Amino acid sequence: MVQDIISRFKSLYGSNPSVFRSPGRINIIGEHTDYNEGFVLPAAIDRELYFAAAHNSLNKFRFFAYDLNSTTEIPCDQIEIQKKETWSNYLLGIVAQLSKKGFKVSGLDVVVGGNIPIGAGLSSSAAMECGFIFAIDKLFSLGLSTIEMVKMAQMAEHEYAGVKCGIMDQFTVMQGKADRVIKLDCRSLDFSYEPLNLGDYRILLCNTEVKHNLASSEYNIRRLECEQGVKIVAGHFPEINSLRDVSMEQLESCRDQLPGKIYDRCSFVIEENSRLEQTCQALEKNDLKKAGKMIFGSHDGLKNKYEVSCRELDLLVDIAASTEGILGARMMGGGFGGCTINIIHKDATTYFKDRIIKEYYLKKDLPHSIFEVAIREGTNQIQ
């Protein structure tokens, strides 16, 4: 794959590129907690994008998306949001952030491509943003710190993709470490690398192969709903700044003033943070069963209280719940489509795959997309 991208670069632009790799991510548990200053437990994976990139002297950006066979060519000072080649907005969003900080990016040729399924909740967008800012930092010797790059990549998503995302995806893509999950405190950004000793269990993703188009609008609405909840609770407890600070008792004491949906959203976030804590403790004690139970609990909350699941995700989780050898399964990422994550015994994978194919993909006439993932290093330079 990477060789194909390098060859394409050479044949398109005729120079020798530097090469960077930027992975997708999974999240074990802790969904929709990042923008509420809570905790997440993600990891970078072996699904990745490759960037071949080199300077040009044309004062132009020449971008080529290998998998889409699509080109964008624009002068370096015209970085408006693109209506047609929307994939290039993730790159232009980075240039815009850099320019806000006073960094001028001049002519650059890029070929980008890889094997992160798009719209599958694996953060192909964060992989684009992070891979690109990492490449620019190296090619232009900007000397940015990792956390500066993470934050600019997050703002690129806010401003050029219109999703007011939290920091989990960009943080994980940049900071991932092989065989480790990241326990990240999204308020302080303190983090630790934790081993994930799954023994005979594997991480298997099932892609629904659907992405309902309310995903980004509903995402931004959830964020506002949480803020609304915080405002009401803070009216009684002025020390409160985010849902991270709110206890279940405090939430209950304000229940009369909280509209039903807002109460549900807030209680989900509080419970999800607690499930994450319990999962970490269970993993430490090698109690995989308990961790799996928390993961199923997370899906239940995302479906019924946070309302970001969909029929397809629920069906995949229901099949998982009735399959022996699966400890936990849930939707992953923003929701309304994308993948489920399943913690499954290695001996159960063939049977489960067959079931999913029969009971989901064939019934819905969708391409089959079930795959194991391994935990890998974050964004890096490979050549």
CA distance 281 to 197: 13
How far apart are alpha carbons 313 and 113 in whole angstroms? 27
Q: How far is the CB of 40 from ligand GLA (least distance, A)?
A: 7
Q: In this complex, which beta carbon is closest to ligand GLA, that of residue 72 or of residue 125?
A: 125
CA angle 165, 38, 155 (to 5 degrees): 25
Q: How far is the CB of 42 from ligand GLA (least distance, A)?
A: 9
- Least CB distance to ligand GLA at residue 247 (A): 21
Is 245 noted as a catalytic residue in this protein? no
Q: How far apart are CA 296 and CA 274, in angstroms?
A: 14
Catalytic annotation, pick one of 34, 109, 169, 264: 169
In the complex, the smallest distance separating the C-beta of residue 333 from ligand GLA, rounded to whole angstroms, is 4
**How many other C-beta atoms lie within 10 A of the C-beta of residue 71?**
13
Q: Given the complex with ligand GLA, which of 158 and 261 has the nearer CB atom?
A: 158
Nearest distance in Å: CB 208, ligand GLA = 15
Please say whether the beta carbons of 232 and 254 come within 8 A.
yes
Q: Which two tokens stand for residue 364?
A: 């819905």
Complex with ligand GLA: residue 34 or 225, whichever CB lies closer = 34
The residues, any chain, with a CB within 8 Å of residue 311's CB and separated by 6 or more, are none
Q: Is the Cβ of residue 206 or residue 331 nearer to ligand GLA in the bound state?
A: 331
| Phi, psi torsion values for 382, nearest 5 degrees | -115, -10
Distance of CA 233 to the CA centre of its chain: 29
Q: What's the alpha-carbon Rg for the chain, to the nearest Å?
A: 21
| CB closer to ligand GLA, 254 vs 339 | 339
Contact residues toward ligand GLA (CB under 6 A) are 31-32, 34-35, 165-166, 168-169, 333-334
Q: What is the DSSP string of 92-126?
A: HHHHHHHHHTTPPP--EEEEEEESPPTTSSS-HHH
Cα distance between residue 135 and residue 144, in whole Å = 11
Active site residues: 169
